[in-house]
Amino acid sequence: MTIKLNRSAPSIIAYIVLVFLGIFFILPFIWVLVSSLNTSATFSVTWPAHPSLENFQIVISTGLVAQPFKNSLILAGSTMLLTILLSGLAAYPLSRYHFRFKSALMYGILFVSALPILAFITPLYALYVALDPIVHMIDTFHGVILFLVASALPFNIWLMKNYLDSVSIELEEAAWVDGASTLTALFRVVLPLSAPGIAVVGVLSFTGAWSNFFIPFIIFQNPDNLPASVNIFSFFGAYGSVNYGQLTAYAMLYALPVMVLYITVSRFFVKGVNLGGVKG
Amino acid sequence: MQVEVARSVTPARGGRRRTHLRTGILFMSPAFLIMLIFLIGPVLYAVYVSGTNMALTGVGAASPQWIGFSNFSHILQDNAFFNALRVSLTYLVGSALIGQAVLGMLLALLMRHRHPVFKSILGAIAVAAWIIPDVVAGFLWYAFLAGGPQSIVTPGLLNSILSTFGLPQHAWLQEYPMAAVIVANTWRGTAFSMLLYASALEGIPPELFEAASMDGANIWKRVRYITLPLLKGTIATDLVLITLATLSDFTLVWVMTAGGPGFKTQLLTIYTYQQAFKFYELGYGTAISLLILAVGAVLSLLYLRILRIEL
């Protein structure tokens, strides 16, 4: 795919503006980068006298990383996969079919998800306690994952529905004419074309689950099950002298998996496939 | 949300309609079942709790009683609530509606046709700001804005830069707390809007722009008469989503200012937290949460009205 690079005057202005914005975005990060290499870091941004990776070593070796990160990966990864699957499935009828209560349904599910999470904690815990005789939910991974998925679904169903709206129905109808069932057409025609939607939903749901602190904090009781999001919260809230070097090193490690996911998936954000089969 | 091409299956009649309904229900049921149990259930319970005087200590703990709308009428007579409402709305308009949406659109528009490597780097930085957890983002900004004439801590990056240019330093979080949290939240959330708009822009056929420029339309005209109208759906979606997200924002501001100094940056969520958790008044706190939800719902319906969007 050839990329048209624009070298005219408006383009140069655009670059200048973008560079300024880039600087705006990167400034607060500089402190993190610089401090993580400094064993006696403060708020000021100064290149350390003896830059070292010791902060990272300390953070990793005191068990703040291995188990919590593993837990976080399980939670976030499962949430992401389930959310993509369920929101894609649910968004399809909402996009394709007419039904009278469609608007109400869509608004309803969206607003329910807007309730601040603080209001959910007590009811959810009470619910889990009530369910205990039937199915054990407290201190389980599935107990946390199911709620994370539930809270990610409304937002992501909306997003998926909007992405699906832009996949022309003619393509699917062509597949149906060729004998494909609804499900086959969905998987082989629609889904690949809605790759940007799936990519965004994936990143969003993973990130949301990765950084969710309240729910694992409440539901898990065994400290070995706690994910990194809980650990980092207590790290930042530690009383007494806070070691900014270790704090920033931990923050960088914590942000890493999410960044890796984004970088891997970002090329799907751009819809570049031209099937050529639909005019206008 | 992208350009609306023919999207609906022709409304079905009779047997076809039944098949649609059946398939529709089948596809939607796993998601809706999970949402029903884990989301709607607790919400209904929360609605019930908001009508009680449930608390973690005292009378409300031993035997919570139904007090009807009592919590709500107390809230509506509480000056602190209205202050928090004002703070939250200012925060919303400043950081989300003006900040994130406009900046996100600007970035998405400017980034088209730029060099791909430049795009990836800038995009990654913006997304990094969005992706890092609230706690970290709050602390980053705390450190960035640290210092000032009477501060005992070393100056953060902003003050250091200002002092190298001979400009006065300030204790930003004390002197301009609202501005500080608004800018921080804009920095934080812009990438989301940028992503939405960027992928929506991809859906506009380039022929439309070419035809317009051949007719003599300059950039502003093209944006105003082609881009924005075609993106109405995306704009509505974006505004609704960031409004709901911003109204629930808590950690970023909490870490930066804890709602202070005084009550200057006490968002509705921070007010809720203090009522529900510091004073252990669960019923009261839950009632406030429901009011926050109502505010979000009203605003969303307003956007859709203004933009004349239909689902």
Look-up of token digits 């979000």: B296
Residues B155 and B265 in one domain: yes
Residue A235 and residue A226 in contact, taking contact as beta carbons nearer than 8 Å: no
What pLDDT, in 10s, does the model give residues B139-164?
Answer: 889 889 888 777 777 788 888 888 88
- Residue B95 within any structural domain of the chain: yes
Residues A47 and A161 in one domain: no
A214 contact residues in B (CB cutoff 8 A):
none
- Residue B51 within any structural domain of the chain: no
Count H helices, E strands: chain A? Answer: 13, 0
Instruction: Provide the pLDDT for residue A122.
Output: 76
Q: What is the mean pLDDT of residues B110-137?
A: 83
CB-based contact, A158 to chain B, within 8 Å: yes
- B residues 139..198 contacting A (CB < 8 A): 139-141, 143-144, 146-147, 153-158, 160, 187, 195-196, 198
What pLDDT, in 10s, does the model give residues B235-271?
Answer: 888 888 899 889 888 889 988 888 878 888 999 888 8
User: Chain B residue closest to A229 (CA)?
Assistant: B133
Residues A24 and A157 in one domain: no
Residues A13 and A85 in one domain: no
Residues A47 and A74 in one domain: no
Other beta carbons within 10 angstroms of residue A145's beta carbon come to: 19
The residue among A167 and B72 whose pLDDT is bigger is B72
Residue B21 has pLDDT above 70, yes or no: yes
- Residue B189 within any structural domain of the chain: yes
- Tokens matching residue B218: 């300059």
Give yes or no for a cis peptide into A192 (omega within 30° of 0): no
Nearest-CB residue to A4 (from B113, B234, B255) = B113
Residues A96 and A214 in one domain: yes
A253 contact residues in B (CB cutoff 8 A):
none
Q: Which of A11, A111, A161, A207 to mutate to test the interface with B (most CBs of B within 10 A)?
A: A111
Helices (H), B132-176: 134-144, 157-164, 172-175
Kindly report which listed range (A1-15, B26-40, B42-56) carries the lowest average pLDDT score: A1-15
| Cα B110 to Cα B119: distance, rounded to the nearest angstrom | 10
Residues A146 and A208 in one domain: yes
Instruction: Provide the pLDDT for residue B69.
Output: 81
User: Chain A residue closest to B3 (CA)?
Assistant: A166
CA angle A28, A29, A34 (to 5 degrees): 115
- Residue B159 within any structural domain of the chain: yes
Residues A209 and A95 in one domain: yes
Residues A181 and A238 in one domain: yes
Residues A25 and A94 in one domain: no
Q: What is the mean pLDDT of residues B158-171?
A: 85
Residues B21 and B82 in one domain: no
Residues B174 and B278 in one domain: yes
Residues B37 and B151 in one domain: no
Average pLDDT, chain B: 81
CA distance B248 to chain A (A): 5
Q: What is the mean pLDDT of residues B85-107?
A: 92
Contact call for A169 and B240, based on CB within 8 A:
no
Residues B100 and B231 in one domain: yes
CATH code for position A241: 1.10.3720.10
- Residue A78 within any structural domain of the chain: yes
Contact call for B240 and A146, based on CB within 8 A:
no
- Residue A1 within any structural domain of the chain: no
CB-based contact, A239 to chain B, within 8 Å: no
Kindly indicate the confidence band of residue B309, based on its pLDDT and cuts at 50, 70 and 90.
low
B196 contact residues in A (CB cutoff 8 A):
200
Domain range enclosing A95 = 63-269
Low-confidence ranges of chain A (pLDDT < 50): 1, 239-240, 272-280
Instruction: Provide the pLDDT for residue B311.
Output: 43
Residues B82 and B31 in one domain: no
Residues A140 and A160 in one domain: yes
Nearest-CB residue to B293 (from A27, A115, A236) = A115
A190 Cβ contact partners less than 8 Å away, ≥ 6 residues apart: A92, A164, A167, A171, A172
CA distance A43 to chain B (A): 5
Residues B21 and B137 in one domain: no
| Dihedral angle, C-alpha A157, A163, A169, A172, nearest 10 ° | -80
B54 burial via Cβ count (<10 Å: 0-12, 13-18, 19+) = buried
Per the structure, how many domains does chain A have?
A: 2
- The question of ipTM being above 0.85 is answered as no
Q: What is the mean pLDDT of residues B225-237?
A: 81
CATH code for position B110: 1.10.3720.10
- Residue A274 within any structural domain of the chain: no
CB-based contact, B56 to chain A, within 8 Å: no
B203 contact residues in A (CB cutoff 8 A):
166, 271
CB-based contact, B113 to chain A, within 8 Å: yes
pTM to 2 decimal places: 0.81
- Residue A236 within any structural domain of the chain: yes
- Residue B67 within any structural domain of the chain: no
Q: What is the mean pLDDT of residues B272-289?
A: 76
CB-based contact, B47 to chain A, within 8 Å: no
Contact call for A162 and B234, based on CB within 8 A:
yes
Nearest-CB residue to B199 (from A96, A213, A269) = A269
Instruction: Provide the pLDDT for residue A239.
Output: 47
CB-based contact, A69 to chain B, within 8 Å: no
Q: Which of A13, A15, A86, A198 to mutate to test the interface with B (most CBs of B within 10 A)?
A: A86
Instruction: Provide the pLDDT for residue B10.
Output: 55
Domain range enclosing B91 = 78-306
B222 contact residues in A (CB cutoff 8 A):
none
Per the structure, how many domains does chain B have?
A: 2
CB-based contact, A134 to chain B, within 8 Å: no
Residues B22 and B153 in one domain: no
- A residues 48..67 contacting B (CB < 8 A): none
Residues B84 and B205 in one domain: yes
- Residue A279 within any structural domain of the chain: no
CA distance A97 to chain B (A): 6
CA distance A123 to chain B (A): 5
Count H helices, E strands: chain B? Answer: 18, 0
Residues A235 and A123 in one domain: yes
Contact call for B156 and A94, based on CB within 8 A:
no
- Residue A58 within any structural domain of the chain: no
DSSP code, position A223: G
- Residue A177 within any structural domain of the chain: yes
Residues B20 and B124 in one domain: no
Q: Which of A11-15, B63-67, B224-228 has the largest mean confidence? A: A11-15
The one-letter code for the residue type at B270 is: I
Q: What are the C-alpha distances in Å from A12 to residues A5, B187, B209, B212, B222?
A: 11, 24, 20, 22, 19
- Residue B223 within any structural domain of the chain: yes
Contact call for B39 and A86, based on CB within 8 A:
no
Kindly indicate the confidence band of residue B83, based on its pLDDT and cuts at 50, 70 and 90.
very high
Kindly indicate the confidence band of residue B58, based on its pLDDT and cuts at 50, 70 and 90.
low
Residues B289 and B177 in one domain: yes
Residue B282 has pLDDT above 70, yes or no: yes
B274 contact residues in A (CB cutoff 8 A):
none
- Residue B137 within any structural domain of the chain: yes
CA distance B307 to chain A (A): 16
| Cα B71 to Cα B22: distance, rounded to the nearest angstrom | 43
Nearest-CB residue to B114 (from A14, A163, A168) = A14
Residues A24 and A67 in one domain: no
CB-based contact, A229 to chain B, within 8 Å: yes
Cβ contacts from A onto B, under 8 A = 311
Residues B32 and B101 in one domain: no
CB-based contact, A175 to chain B, within 8 Å: no
- Residue B60 within any structural domain of the chain: no
Q: What are the C-alpha distances in Å from A145 to residues A104, A148, A154, A218, B101?
A: 27, 5, 15, 13, 31
